[in-house]
Amino acid sequence: MEGKTPDVSSTTPKPLTPAQKQLLKRQQDLEYFKRHSKQLRSRNLITGLTIGAFVVGIFSYTILSVRQERMMDEIDNEAKVYVMKGPRTGANS
């Protein structure tokens, strides 16, 4: 029996359980994020600033257009008053 080779089943690795697979995947993800955290942080910062600038731009445009609309209403009211109180000549009295 001394000349026998070792059992093949003892040298092959056992299949991983689902819990072990999940743990391995989480460890790989953690290592990835540790290696790439600075790059991810800068990308997130750029994305956040871009979205913020877009929102501020839309807000500013909205406020400006509403303000202009109010000014146009005031000008229209002034024009109506001017037409009603305009100079009286022989042609329009």
Share of the chain above pLDDT 90, in %: 38
Residue 4 pLDDT: 61
CB 16 within 8 A of CB 24: yes
Residue 50 pLDDT: 98
Distance CA 58, CA 47 (A): 17
Summarize pLDDT for 39-61 with one digit per residue, the tens: 989 999 999 999 999 999 999 99
- pTM for this prediction: 0.47
- Residue written as tokens 């955290």? 37
Estimate to the nearest angstrom the gap between the alpha carbon of 55 and the chain centroid.
10
pLDDT band at residue 90 using 50, 70 and 90 as cut-offs: low
